[in-house]
Amino acid sequence: MKIKTKRVYDKPDPGDGFRVLVDRLWPRGLSRADAKIDLWLKDIAPSNELRKWFNHDPDKWHGFKKKFFAELDANRDAVDDLLSRAGRGRVCFLYASKEQKLNNAAALKDYIESFSKPARGK
């Protein structure tokens, strides 16, 4: 499973593979043509309540991941769809946040990659 994360505003690259926007909201100021998105998977994004609670506060990162993973555990259809696509080749999770390390795409990457490890048990 080869997953990378990238800011949706960065230039698309053939090495991105299948490009999935994993935000609930469409990125401001970006046209659909310029975005070069293969799939917008709104349902895999954190809930509005969780997104607002986190607000990219580094002190809330671990709590955000725990709550987001619980949301993902309850959202098996979207997770299974993403696992299936990720198993077929390169996938790039796109996000709009200016925060490059502590964002929902990075958390989602950790979550999806955990399925290839025996620790998660699913």
Residue 103 near residue 23 (C-beta atoms within 8 A): no
What is this structure's pTM?
Answer: 0.89
Q: State yes or no: pLDDT of 119 exceeds 90.
A: no
Question: What is the tens place of the pLDDT at every residue in 68-113?
Answer: 999 999 999 989 888 887 778 899 999 999 999 999 999 999 999 8
The domain ranges of the chain are 2-116
Task: List pLDDT tens digits, range 28-59.
Answer: 999 988 889 999 999 999 999 999 999 989 99
The total number of residues written for the chain in this structure? 122
CA separation for the pair 120, 122 (Å, rounded): 6
DSSP, res 98 = S
Dihedral sign from CA coordinates of 96, 100, 102, 105: positive
Q: Quick one: how many helices (H) and strands (E) in the chain? A: 5, 4
